[in-house]
Amino acid sequence: MEIIPAVDMKDGECVQLVQGDEETAKSYGDPVEAARRWVDEGAERLHVIDLDGAIDGERRNARHVERIVEETDVSVQVGGGIRTVEDAETLFDAGADRVVMGTAAMENPPLVGRVAEHGEVVVSLDARGGEVVVEGWKEGAGVSPVEAARRFEDEGASAFLFTNVDDEGLLEGVSVEPVEELVSAVGVPVIASGGVTTPDDVSALRDAGASAVVIGTAFYEGRMTYDEAVEAGK
């Protein structure tokens, strides 16, 4: 299982939120320094999200994203505020190897296929109470993750990022069943996220069939080291 540290950005700082609530934002300093830290610890891929872009649709952290891509020698998947083919092309041209699309994909599924002509597209399926949520997790999309995934697999998604918003940032563990259900329903890799707190959580998601896991708060709060997560994912 691939272990992918999260570098989420808001207003130019590396932050973590609880269940997407902006009022809970806790800063962990310079996002570029955070990215370098995870690379130094052995990460081979980073999950870089512009939260201002995800929440407001305005990619205010674009320069920080570009620096992370430019100044690290690892694979980077980038999301947050990618609304057009041109947005994605800019990131691919800058060196990102994957783009992560959520709200725009849900609003315009064929956009995924058009972006996929230029590079890998990870479709973000963020769910609360079994329903996909969009617009920075503020609005329900009226479909389940499995229903959405089947459509996007046909459109050319190379992977799915499944985040269980009900668990996100709480440091209380993961819900395995939704991951198992999604893995069983699609033929492309599923990346799991949300609530990962301990090595046992990593192992549980591995056993559920997830190909990778994104870890944020647990790393930043020292609940688990990168090496411990790697060992648990074997």
Residues annotated as catalytic are 8, 126
Alpha-carbon distance of 94 to 175, in angstroms, equals 35
DSSP string, 93-158: HHT-SEEEESHHHHH-THHHHHHHTTSEEEEEEEEETTEEEETTTTEE-SS-HHHHHHHHHHHT-S
Q: Are 132 and 145 in contact (CB under 8 A)?
A: yes
Q: Which long-range contacts (CB under 8 A, 24 or more apart) does 30-38 make?
A: 31/7, 31/61, 31/64, 31/68, 32/64, 32/67, 32/68, 32/71, 34/7, 34/220, 35/7, 35/68, 35/71, 35/72, 36/71, 36/72, 38/5, 38/7, 38/219, 38/226
Alpha-carbon distance of 169 to 154, in angstroms, equals 31
